[in-house]
């Protein structure tokens, strides 16, 4: 390397690491992450991709863009409220603050008054009971699948779980509820057919070997036409007659009936109809963190809570804090998006369209997350060229639109109004990149 070689001007690692800008940008990152960014910038300078004088700036830009996690915040412009690929329910401001408050030492299992150990997550459980007074007791576990595994193991390990064939559900990533239940050591006793199950089908299957009677809301599909199903009050009567517990999986986590979702079952309705235990997800229509919600009769819920598997599926302090804040706080983002005023959505879409030179089209949103299949949420979207979808996804902020029928649709339903300016700038930048 001769004296004129510009690579001689590449700053040394120790000098870059000591630069005030690099120190500020890397303050929330580990030493190895910062050092790797420095080495990468130096290698780019040696390859002629970056001028030696710009190495520090390249390091600062890389660290600023990285963040402490590889997860990228996304503006959800699909119109799908509970979007599984985007982490389902976005948390409320109150829940986010609760996560920060709970990130250090907290009294999750401690009575500060006595200094003695206390019941884990008591406040979160009480918040659930306040929100759904039909329940006598509550339990919070890591997710809905965990709640189902716990219930079937505690109530029916080595015995039979009686379930209708029409309720054999496959959830995300190919997991089937039947496989989950059989993994607990329970045996599934299928009754009825895919489209029709009658009271007599259950009666013929119930007997001394029955561990529990299970009803699962299909959630992510509908069967129409020549169909029949046994309502919960009739299943309650059968459960009493044969002395077995009735477990109901309502899936989507709707606490109480919602007129906007007339056919979506709620936990309150299932409990009022006689379920011993009702289970659901916390990060769907409830609008909270991922959690398995268990509500029901005190005797049955306590039976689950005392079962050894409950320790393996218990919720952590962050989940408990965020769930309690969701239940006690203001309306969660999921509820706001579900009940968004179509007229206001049109105003927002028209403002975006006017700013970027596009057109507004009618667009029906969806509940998502397996909730209320087929229910249309009437709204509006900005229609862009299909080729705008990728630059929107890769931009900052990242925006996920809906690609449909040869167009890129940007629906403001799930985008907080406070982010309308950022969304507008992201769309403008994406379109400029197409020129």
How does pLDDT run along the chain (435 residues), one tens digit per residue?
A: 555 667 788 999 999 999 999 999 998 888 999 999 999 999 999 999 999 999 999 999 888 887 777 789 999 999 999 999 999 999 999 999 999 999 999 999 999 999 999 999 999 999 999 999 999 999 999 999 999 999 999 999 999 999 998 888 776 666 677 777 777 788 889 999 888 999 999 999 999 999 999 999 876 666 777 778 899 999 999 999 999 999 999 988 999 999 999 888 999 999 999 999 999 999 999 999 999 999 999 999 999 999 999 999 999 999 999 999 999 999 999 999 999 999 999 999 999 999 999 999 999 999 998 787 788 999 999 999 999 999 999 998 999 999 999 999 999 999 999 999 999 999 999 999 886
3-state secondary structure of 179: helix
Q: Provide the 3-class DSSP secondary structure of residue 393.
A: helix
**Domains 74-86+336-432 and 93-330 alike in fold:** no
Burial 119-128 (b: 16+ CB within 10 A, else e): ebbebbbebb
Tokens 């890129």 map to which residue?
408
Task: Answer for the pair 301, 137: CB distance below 8 angstroms, yes or no.
Answer: yes
Quote the pLDDT of residue 372. Answer: 79
Fold of 74-86+336-432: 3.90.1150
Task: Quote the radius of gyration of the chain (alpha carbons, Å).
Answer: 27
List beta partners, residue 277: 247, 296
What is the fold, at CATH topology level, of the domain defined by 93-330? Answer: 3.40.640
Collect all residues with Cβ–Cβ distance below 8 Å to 347 and sequence separation of at least 6. Answer: none
Domain spans of the chain?
6-66, 74-86+336-432, 93-330
Listed residue (306, 281, 316) closest to 145, CA to CA? 281
Cα four-point dihedral sign 10, 12, 18, 24: positive
Edge to edge, the sheet with strand 359-365 lists 74-77, 398-404, 407-410, 377-385, 359-365
What pTM was computed for the model? 0.88
CA distance 161 to 152: 7
Which token pair is 134? 């039909």
């Amino acid at each position: 390397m001769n004296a004129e070689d510009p690579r001689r001007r590449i700053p040394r690692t120790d000098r870059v690491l000591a630069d005030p800008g690099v120190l500020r940008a890397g303050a929330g990152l580990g030493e190895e992450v910062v050092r790797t960014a420095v080495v990468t910038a130096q290698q780019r300078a040696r390859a002629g991709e970056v001028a030696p004088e710009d190495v520090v700036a390249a390091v600062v830009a890389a660290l600023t863009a990285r963040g402490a996690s590889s997860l990228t915040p996304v503006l959800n412009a699909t119109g799908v409220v509970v979007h599984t690929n985007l982490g389902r329910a976005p948390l409320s401001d109150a829940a986010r603050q609760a996560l920060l408050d709970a990130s250090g030492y907290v009294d999750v299992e401690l009575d500060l008054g006595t200094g003695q150990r206390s019941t884990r997550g008591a406040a979160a459980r009480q918040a659930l009971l306040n929100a759904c007074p039909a329940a006598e007791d509550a339990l919070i576990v890591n997710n809905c699948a965990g709640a189902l595994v716990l219930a079937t193991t505690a109530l029916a390990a080595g015995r039979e779980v009686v379930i209708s064939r029409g309720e054999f559900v496959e959830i995300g990533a190919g997991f089937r509820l039947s496989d989950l239940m059989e993994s607990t050591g329970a045996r599934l006793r299928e009754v009825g057919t895919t489209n029709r199950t009658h009271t007599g089908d259950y009666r013929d299957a119930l007997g001394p070997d029955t561990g529990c009677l299970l009803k699962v809301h299909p959630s992510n599909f509908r069967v129409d036409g020549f169909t029949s199903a046994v309502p919960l009050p009739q299943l309650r009567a059968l459960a009493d007659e044969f002395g077995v517990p009735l477990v109901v999986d309502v899936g989507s986590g709707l606490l109480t009936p919602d007129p906007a979702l007339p056919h979506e079952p709620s936990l309150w309705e299932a409990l009022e109809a006689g379920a011993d235990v009702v289970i659901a997800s916390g990060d769907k229509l409830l609008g909270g963190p991922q959690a398995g919600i268990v509500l029901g009769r005190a005797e049955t819920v306590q039976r689950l809570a005392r079962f050894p598997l409950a320790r393996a599926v218990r919720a952590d302090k962050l989940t408990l804090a965020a769930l309690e804040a969701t239940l006690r706080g203001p309306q969660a983002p999921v509820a706001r998006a579900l009940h968004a005023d179509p007229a206001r959505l049109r105003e927002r879409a028209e403002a975006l369209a006017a700013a970027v030179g596009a057109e507004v089209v009618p667009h029906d949103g969806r509940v998502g997350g397996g909730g209320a299949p087929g229910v249309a949420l009437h709204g509006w979207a900005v229609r862009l060229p299909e080729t705008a979808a990728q630059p929107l996804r890769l931009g900052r902020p990242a925006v996920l639109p809906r690609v449909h029928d040869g167009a890129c649709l940007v629906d403001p339903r799930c985008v907080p109004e406070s982010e309308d300016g950022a969304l507008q700038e992201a769309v403008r930048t994406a379109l400029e990149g197409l020129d």
